[in-house]
């Protein structure tokens, strides 16, 4: 089996994330994509999530529940401390022993991938699927790993979780940025006033 691991803050998950996951399945031949919401990103330790861990996990579950090729793992979000990808990859290499693992990352994350803790251990176990959001700079430190990197052409959709949070804080509409079930969840929680 070919398993995609899609980690992120998902604060909140939006349709852009789902498009990346579905495109990874279609263009890279993945059998499934596992969404892994992070507890604390090593690069965002100073930033508190807008949504609670519980809410972020629940929104991801709602967003993916109608796609049989999408799954959610609470491995990182239920752990204590910083969510290091090398630990997550080690975990999934045991869970999916014998499967080919693919780590799905944005172009911005890829450009600093060589700064991730134990990045070489990660690359020993996975192929990277990189979805550029613009022009991609291939880091010099990763040149010897070019054969471990798949570039994914994804439709350009200018949506970010940051933009959604900013719109929420301003009381602006976010309905069309999110899967319907996620939007309804935010309404039910009283986070968005309409």
Question: For 62-101, how does the pLDDT look when each residue is reduced to its tens digit (9 = 90+)?
Answer: 999 999 999 999 999 999 888 899 999 999 999 999 999 9
Beta bridge partners of 86: none
pLDDT in tens, 136-157: 888 899 889 999 999 999 888 8
Residue 192 pLDDT level (bands cut at 50, 70, 90): low
Instruction: Tell me the C-alpha to C-alpha distance, in Å, between residue 58 and each of 4, 61, 132.
Output: 20, 5, 27
What's the confidence (pLDDT) of residue 193? 53
DSSP assignment string, 40-63: S-TT-TT---SS-HHHHHHHHHHH
Kindly report the CATH number assigned to the domain that includes residue 16: 3.40.50.620
Q: State percent of the chain over pLDDT 90.
A: 74
Looking at the structure of the chain, the number of domains it has is 1
User: Looking at the domain assignment, is residue 30 inside a domain?
Assistant: yes
What's the confidence (pLDDT) of residue 101? 99
User: Looking at the domain assignment, is residue 169 inside a domain?
Assistant: no
Which residue has 């959610």 as its token pair?
72
User: Looking at the domain assignment, is residue 184 inside a domain?
Assistant: no
- Give the list of residues 6+ apart from residue 115 with CB closer than 8 angstroms, or none: none
pLDDT in tens, 155-181: 888 899 999 999 988 989 999 999 999
């Amino acid at each position: 089996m070919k398993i995609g691991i899609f980690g992120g803050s998902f604060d909140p998950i939006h349709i852009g994330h789902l498009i990346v996951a579905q495109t990874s399945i279609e263009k890279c031949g993945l059998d499934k994509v596992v969404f892994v919401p992070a507890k604390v990103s090593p690069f965002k330790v100073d930033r508190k999530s807008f949504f609670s861990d519980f809410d972020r996990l629940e929104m991801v579950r709602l967003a993916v529940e109608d796609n049989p090729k999408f799954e959610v793992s609470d491995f990182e979000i239920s752990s204590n401390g910083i969510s290091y990808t090398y630990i997550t990859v080690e975990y999934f290499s045991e869970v999916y022993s014998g499967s080919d693992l693919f780590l799905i990352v944005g172009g911005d994350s890829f450009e600093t991938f060589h700064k991730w803790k134990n990045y070489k251990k990660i690359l020993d176990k996975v192929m990277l699927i990189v979805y550029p959001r613009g022009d991609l700079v291939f880091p010099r430190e990763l040149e010897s790993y070019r054969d471990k990197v798949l570039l994914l052409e994804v439709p350009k959709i200018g949506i970010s979780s940051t933009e959604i949070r900013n719109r929420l804080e301003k009381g602006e509409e976010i309905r069309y940025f999110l899967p319907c079930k996620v939007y309804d969840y935010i309404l039910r929680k009283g986070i968005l006033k309409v």
